Amino acid sequence: MAKGEITHIEFPADDPERARRFYEAVAGWQFGETEGFPGYYMFRNGEASGGAVAKRGEMAPQQLRIYITVDSLEEACAAAAANGGTVIEQPTDIGGGMGRFAVVRDTEGSEVGLWQTTGDAAG
């Protein structure tokens, strides 16, 4: 994954089953539940990109959230803070060597996820 690519998007849903049916019909996405993350239904829409549908406020945020791949979460979070943003979730490891994420709020109030692939998941 290249730095700056949008590689993941989370769709919060009040009714994840209804949302899954919608995106299966509209976009043709096939969903699967992620081991260790009950109720988090992931899809792929490219070789290195995809997203998930999950219960709003539980396994997904309150609003739609994109994730951008970065080389270093620490550097990206520092850059966000230095340029008027706010770090709202510090860098966190995802179990199983999947990678790490953080969440920042941009200067306009939007939440943006940041993703760093770790050595185990880098391929």
12-29: per-residue pLDDT in tens?
Answer: 999 999 999 999 999 999
Total-model pTM: 0.85
83 and 50, same domain (yes or no): no
Cα–Cα distance, 8 to 11 (Å, whole number): 10
Q: State pLDDT tens for residues 72-85.
A: 999 999 999 999 99
The answer, yes or no, to whether residue 107 has pLDDT greater than 60, is yes
**Residue range(s) defining the domain that contains residue 30:** 9-61
55 and 15, same domain (yes or no): yes
pLDDT of residue 123: 42
pLDDT of residue 46: 81
38 and 77, same domain (yes or no): no
In a domain, 1, yes or no: no
120 — pLDDT class (breaks 50, 70, 90): low
Number of domains in the chain: 2
In a domain, 114, yes or no: yes
CATH of the domain at 13: 3.10.180.10
57 and 76, same domain (yes or no): no
- 77 phi, psi to nearest 5 deg: -65, -40
Taking the CA atoms of the chain, what radius of gyration do you get in angstroms? 14
The secondary structure of 40-84 as a DSSP string is EEEEEEETTEEEEEEEBTTTB-SS-EEEEE-S-HHHHHHHHHHTT
In a domain, 2, yes or no: no
